[in-house]
Amino acid sequence: MRKSWLVFLLSISAYVLAAPVELKVNLRVGNQPLQWGQTYQTPQGQRYQIDLLKFYISEVALVRPDGREVRVDGLALAEFKRDGPTQGVSVMKLDVPAGQYRGLRFNVGVPRELNHLDAGTQQLPLGVNSGMYWAWNPGYIFYRLEGTAALPEGNQKWVIHMGTDAFRIPVRLHDLQTRRVQINIPPGGGGIALNLDVARAFEPGPGGVFVDWRKQSLRQLHGLSPETSLLMSVVYFNMQSAFSLAQ
């Protein structure tokens, strides 16, 4: 009986001490803030603009100094549209105990148990109205990046639509070995800011393969066809290190 009361009191204490935290994202191209309408260049010299970015964040956890995790339920859909803000955009609200943490982890994508439900019965940020659902393939688009390439024949639209369970992107921004990563959540709450370098998607992969928009077939990159699956794997690998904690 005494143990049950102790567990109950600890649960109440954790609830009372929970502090509100906003997870914010800054979009970057390299180390510069992303600006809508600005033309950038890939490492291969192809010029492009970013028009749209949407992605799911799920399975968030803050990591304590002893390695234990404070897990946060729920998922959020981050959305960045042309002419909208790209810096300090709030993408998810958390309630976590105040204290010191050594970083956080999360996944970009939809957990498997939600990814295969009937989308017609789900509410936002899931569901068919999210703009993140393939009508021709069961499951959600986890990471949707779209833009325009400046090619010799004229401007051409391109898309990167990453999904399926195999392409849920793990992001790990914690460090238990040193004290370089520290997140302080005061009792009154606060924010955690992340940088996302969207240009990492265009870094070359093994053998120098890259997203070459001169090839029409590579302007619709979804990774489910034999012709584009290798390049989607390259994008997936690069995106695992595209997020960082903002200083």
What is the pTM assigned to this prediction?
0.90
Q: DSSP code of 234?
A: H
The tens place of each residue's pLDDT in the chain, 247 residues long, gives 555 555 544 444 444 578 999 999 999 999 999 999 999 999 999 999 999 999 999 999 999 999 999 999 999 999 999 989 999 999 999 999 999 999 999 999 999 999 999 999 999 999 999 999 988 778 999 999 999 999 999 999 999 999 999 999 999 999 888 878 899 999 999 999 999 999 999 999 988 999 999 999 999 998 777 778 889 999 999 999 999 999 7
Q: Please tell me the distance from the alpha carbon of residue 139 to that of residue 132, in angstroms, as a whole number.
A: 9
Q: Please tell me the distance from the alpha carbon of residue 59 to that of residue 90, in angstroms, as a whole number.
A: 17
Q: Please tell me the distance from the alpha carbon of residue 63 to that of residue 105, in angstroms, as a whole number.
A: 8
What element of type H or E holds 95? strand 89-97
